[in-house]
Structure 1
Amino acid sequence: MGDKAHTPAGAAGRAPTADRPSEIRNVVLVGHSGAGKTTLVEALAQTAGALGRPGRVEDGATVSDYDEIEHRQHRSVQLSL
């Protein structure tokens, strides 16, 4: 075991490190209401090829705002994955 590098174990196994960004899977967007979090998610989804064109919060056509109350209030209410 002397030739193996010691890596701390997390809840799901080996903890990801900064030199391996491809292993990091968690992203959190935090900001004040109206800061543009939903718009950023739409742009990222389009860039990744998941959307043909991004939706608009004003139109109630965003991928992360799927609940009727979110469409009526023009803001995110539920957590989106």
Structure 2
Amino acid sequence: MKKIEWFPDPEMLKRPIYLSLVEQITHAFNAGALMAGSRLPTHRQMSYRLGISIQTVNRAYEELSRRGLVISTVGIFHSEPFE
């Protein structure tokens, strides 16, 4: 498990915010800014840093999980790429 200090750019958040957050996190995975096994910021950290609600962060993380991009345990982790 790798701890990193990556956060999305709040200036790039568009409406709906949760989908914009999903897009930024997905881009970070694809660009290599977030690696498989990386731990994402907590809901509270992301909420505070971006000035958005915890519910919005939760919705974004749930969407990432639904898409198979993260695994949620104690913390949120980037999953291994699908073969």
Q: What TM-score do you get using the length of structure 1 for normalisation?
A: 0.34
Higher relative contact order (CA 8 A, sep 6+): 2
Q: What TM-score do you get using the length of structure 2 for normalisation?
A: 0.33
Say which structure is richer in helix: 2
Say which structure is richer in strand: 2
Q: Which has the larger radius of gyration?
A: 1
